[in-house]
Amino acid sequence: MSTHQNWVEKDKKQLHPVYHPKSHIDPLVVDHGEGVWLYTTDGQKILDGMAGLWNVNAGYGREELAQAAFDQMKKMAFTSNFAGMTNLPSIELADKLAGFAYEGLNTTFFASGGSEANDSAFKTARYYWKRKGKPEKVKVIARKGSYHGVTMYATFATGLEKYHTMFGPAVPGFLHIPAPNPYRYDGDIKPGETIGQAAARALEEAILREGPETVGAFIAEPVMGVGGVIVPPDDYFPLVRQICDKYEVLLVADEVITGFGRTGEWFALKHWGIQPDILSFAKAITSGYAQLGGIQISDEIRETIETASEGEAWMHGYTYSGHAMACAVGLKNLELMEKDNYPARARDLGKRLLEGLKTLEEFPFVGNVRGKGLVCGVEIVSNKETRAADPATAMKIFKAAQKHGLRSRPLGATLAFAPPLVINEEEVDEIVKRLGAAMDSISA
């Protein structure tokens, strides 16, 4: 047995995320990475078109980040951040983040990832409404196709049913409305309405149907990721903000993927000139070099926590909240992102990637190519006229692309691309070239 096969055999001892043994055959066993490239134990060199899981924005092998982790670990890797104690990196990072994403969000709570961030958001929304004397406002509206993570609340906020099937009964109070998908909107559209208006109306109708006095929050990814890279029409989010304000519903922006430059702005709701009440972040804050996520809350929400009695304290927190090493890595990563202006890189290189991917529309099975900044989706269809989604062909292309040394991610019928933001022009062109070659090979 080769060393590589030996690793594959041993790998069977761990349970992998979102696991079915049938889909975990012949895994890429990654040994190391550099920039946008991954090197596997069987000698492959692969362009990571997904930046890991949409997160390794600074690329692989960054010594500055390793050094930041090393220095902090040596000094003190961890200490409690629970009431009565704190540490310097978490103080500095929270200070740096105050007002960084959105003007009115000046308070940060740290968790270890996106699911914990969203659970923290849901609990904080409940807390807020209880403190405001409206304890009935517990329901959360999310969108079909959304992905918010896998803790129990986040699982049922997620609008992809396959994540629910084996984990019911469902947590009550989470409901889903159509997403503003310009290519295949599955809600109703009134004559003269845009898709953005129709999808926003779906929110208003859901709030009215449930009773505004029972709805506490609406959660949305500004650009939907796992649901197939759905870029909303420009009129959608401003209308959503108005509706949330009208019915006193907190707007939670799940920017776990879109945060920290990915879409061409530091945070994605900036594209539409609005801001959320609660922001969930994770992934790219450390470029995946340490496990860190969290929420930022509006000054008004903070006020309700600040002015509560002892008996109504915000009793929430994780052992690793404000983890010193992770926060030190986050700080260093933010420094790198600012120095290299990651939003500008995402804008410029994203334009190049999108234009390149659009040239593939000449293939009969490429139905739609879309993107914002450096997050793009290529949707595969069996018929361009009917737009019938074709996940089987998407999977074939995904596998063929991997043979051509390109890693993407098949999301239903859509192949996603979200490479590290340090990618250069030549490497962007390489994505298009390799994907084109993969499409040629399956056409043949």
Ligand X SMILES: Cc1ncc(COP(=O)(O)O)c(C=O)c1O
Distances (CA, A) of 112 to 77, 179, 290, 294, 302: 15, 28, 9, 7, 21
* Residue 380 dihedral angles phi and psi, to the nearest 5°: -100, 130
Closest distance of CB 45 from ligand X, Å:
25
Closest distance of CB 15 from ligand X, Å:
15
Decide: helix, strand or coil at residue 132: coil
Which is closer to ligand X, CB of 274 or CB of 279?
A: 279
Q: Does 115 bind ligand X (CB under 6 A)?
A: yes
As a whole number of angstroms, the distance between CA 419 and CA 290 comes to 18
Q: How is residue 15 annotated by DSSP?
A: P
Task: Spell out the long-range contacts of 231-234 with Cβ–Cβ below 8 A and sequence spacing 24 or more.
Answer: 231/182, 231/370, 231/371, 231/372, 232/179, 232/180, 232/182, 232/196, 232/199, 233/180, 233/182, 233/194, 233/195, 233/196, 234/196, 234/271, 234/272
Q: Does 114 bind ligand X (CB under 6 A)?
A: yes
Closest distance of CB 175 from ligand X, Å:
18
CA-angle at 166, arms to 161 and 168, nearest 5°: 80
Which is closer to ligand X, CB of 287 or CB of 304?
A: 287
Q: Contact region for ligand X (CB under 6 A) — 62-70, 145-153, 243-251, 379-387?
A: 145-153
Q: Does 149 bind ligand X (CB under 6 A)?
A: yes
Q: Contact region for ligand X (CB under 6 A) — 35-43, 137-145, 147-155, 163-171?
A: 147-155
Which is closer to ligand X, CB of 72 or CB of 118?
A: 118
Contact positions with ligand X (CB under 6 A) in 39-78: 53
Q: Does 257 bind ligand X (CB under 6 A)?
A: yes
Which is closer to ligand X, CB of 286 or CB of 304?
A: 286
Q: CB of 155 within 8 A of CB of 231?
A: no
Q: Contact region for ligand X (CB under 6 A) — 20-28, 42-50, 91-99, 143-151?
A: 143-151
As a whole number of angstroms, the distance between CA 315 and CA 83 comes to 10
Which is closer to ligand X, CB of 111 or CB of 239?
A: 111
For residue 249, count CB atoms less than 10 angstroms from its CB and return exposed for 0-12, middle for 13-18, buried for 19 or more.
Answer: buried
Q: CB of 41 within 8 A of CB of 7?
A: yes
Which is closer to ligand X, CB of 375 or CB of 438?
A: 375
Closest distance of CB 201 from ligand X, Å:
24
Which is closer to ligand X, CB of 218 or CB of 363?
A: 218
Structural tokens at position 159: 């609008």
Contact positions with ligand X (CB under 6 A) in 346-385: none
Please list the residues that pair with 355 across neighbouring strands: none
Closest distance of CB 87 from ligand X, Å:
22
**Longest Cα separation, the chain:** 70
Q: Contact region for ligand X (CB under 6 A) — 181-189, 219-227, 240-248, 328-336?
A: 219-227
Q: Does 221 bind ligand X (CB under 6 A)?
A: yes
Which is closer to ligand X, CB of 147 or CB of 153?
A: 147
The answer for residues whose C-beta is within 8 angstroms of residue 334's C-beta and 6 or more apart is 93, 96, 260, 285
For residue 368, count CB atoms less than 10 angstroms from its CB and return exposed for 0-12, middle for 13-18, buried for 19 or more.
Answer: buried
Which is closer to ligand X, CB of 240 or CB of 439?
A: 240
Closest distance of CB 359 from ligand X, Å:
28
Structural tokens at position 291: 């496990």
Q: Contact region for ligand X (CB under 6 A) — 65-73, 109-117, 189-197, 236-244?
A: 109-117
Beta strands 139-143 and 406-407: pairing type?
A: unpaired
Closest distance of CB 401 from ligand X, Å:
21
Which is closer to ligand X, CB of 97 or CB of 400?
A: 97
Structural tokens at position 179: 């997403």
Q: Does 285 bind ligand X (CB under 6 A)?
A: no
Closest distance of CB 254 from ligand X, Å:
5
Q: Which residues bind ligand X (CB under 6 A)?
A: 53, 113-115, 118, 147-149, 221, 225-226, 254, 256-257, 282, 293
